[in-house]
Chains A and B, each alone.
Chain A
Amino acid sequence: MVPPRPALSFDHLGFVIAVLIGIALFAAPFATYRATRIASGEARLVIEALPFSMAAALALVALGVALGAVLARDPLGRLGSAVIGLAVLLPSLGLSAGYLTPADNNFARVSPSLGFWLLSLSFSLLAVDALARMRLGPFGRLAALAVGASALALLLLSGIWDDLSILKEYDTRADSFWREARQHLLLAFGSLAAACLFGIPLGVASHRLRTLRTAVMQSLSIVQTVPSIALFGLLMAPLGAVAASVPLAAALGIRGIGAAPAFFALFLYALLPIVANTVAGLNQVPAAVVDAARGMGMSARQRLLGVEMPLALPVILAGIRIVLVQNLGLATVAALIGGGGFGAFVFQGIGQTAIDLVLLGALPTVALSFGASVVLDALVDLSKGTTPA
């Protein structure tokens, strides 16, 4: 459909990105300076937010990326220029924070502003577009994710961002940050594991028995329509009653308030995608293949484990991907009922109108969901590759 493109020509997407870069550089504040963490902010343009030489270097690199985005067609070249742009932009944010904060002032806060976000958005758009055009295989995507994650880890560990407001929030809460992180992962992955243990056998049974399937699917779809905070709240009552009457349950940490109702709610939400995808995966196994396996003298158990499940695996993994991304997001709400997780920072931040605290909770959640979806997408592709279609 698309005619072959010359190496150098006008690119519409590149034009949009170049306009964004222009706005970000000249018309939008790069960073926000606040005298205290909840004071209102003062905007600083690129030229005010960085020493002159750094500001000029950043502007030159950004203009270079803009020019490349408009003129260069080769995805590799575009990816390269986007990466160079990000490599200059991200450290310069940290430098700007150090530059704007007066010496020995622990109350002042510097946070990224619209200009920074627009610049990182335009560089990332360019990179994402180039990666999409390169049509990387599963290993390529995993490698790209690993490179991105290591670059981020390097930035955080090098201390170059330490003057930024969000890392100052982190500094005062380093202990609770990792405790909530562990809790978040425990909620999301624990309920996923429980849902797989319970949901995959239920899916296999529903695949065999039509009556069971209808009943299971309908009740699980109704569970999905109950809003998350209501389901969390509703489970507090029965679990509280269990804890009060069964000492063993209380000793195991089951309480009306806290992680138990959140865990159980996430488990219930996770069941529908797991069961539905198990059924769908088994349904699409060709009847001829199952017949052939029967003809080879395989028992029902051998057919299920050796033939049907491996063929259904990509679809089941796709269900697990949906659940994991959904759980990582929903686990944020658990904080409302005392279940912990990154949501604790989000809701504290909303309560104190402290944007940095909100971001301290929201950004790791987004990063985790994004990473999880890339990894599981790659796994889905790999599992398709290894099973004969």
Chain B
Amino acid sequence: MIPDLSVKIGKVKFSNPVLVASGTFGYGEEYGAFFDLNKLGGIITKSITLNPREGHLPPRTCETPSGMLNAIGLANVGVKRFIQEKLPFLRNLKTKVIVNVAGSSIDEYVEVVKRLEGKKGIDLLEINISCPNVKQGGITFGSDPKCAYDCIKAVRDNSTYPIIAKLSPNVADIVEIALAVEEAGADAISLINTLVGMAIDLEAKKPRLSNITGGLSGPAIKPVALAMVWKTASKVKIPVIGLGGIMNTQDALEFILAGASMIQVGTGNFVDPECSVKIVEGLKEYCQEKKIKKITDLVGKLKT
């Protein structure tokens, strides 16, 4: 028996539930040297903004116990060059392509999605309303239900692509935000983005990141992510995409049990470039072994 790993979000059918997280996979090309990208459910690009962004001063990253901090500052080529230079490579892939969009105002989000509209090679959009590392925008849209609603609604009204809203864990009540973006017309939500964190160089009496604070990712945040996925998945009707410290098949299955229809591998890509494809294989083997016909049968099957 070959288990059915396929999953649908909106009208888009993915061959399996494994995605690679925005910001950890560039625009896809870099990891194409390591494995066949078509084996993935989908690829999520680095956040795209209206204009190119240089990003923050280095140092931008720092390792922490079972995790890492980053403050890249949404460095990206901007929507124009993305379409000209990066999309042609992605267009030739059979895997689904999800373009992550960020902005510092609702107008900027709208302008970016308008420019992406109708471009061949894009299957979905992921709207980043949760970047912890930029002063304006990003997380400000994701930390208040009204702002989150307005941002996703504006994108919804200006795009025909299915929309995933990427949520921040740095909020008082993530369920409230999730319900707001569902109401605004999001087709799915992904969570969690990184947790705000900090590391200090005692010798120099200085922060280890030039931005002072950064976003914490990796195995260290997995328990937080699981709890938030579980809380949210029981309250919304749209699919939840889980991420936060997923390093292997077991982690992925735990998120699926907690209610995630799909998962994203982020920091895991750095530790093992083939982490994501190994999880695709691992899910297949698990389903075969446990005689599970469809992976969707496992979603939210946590016994409580």
Please indicate whether A and B come from the same complex rather than being unrelated chains.
Answer: no
Residues of B within 8 A of A (CB): none
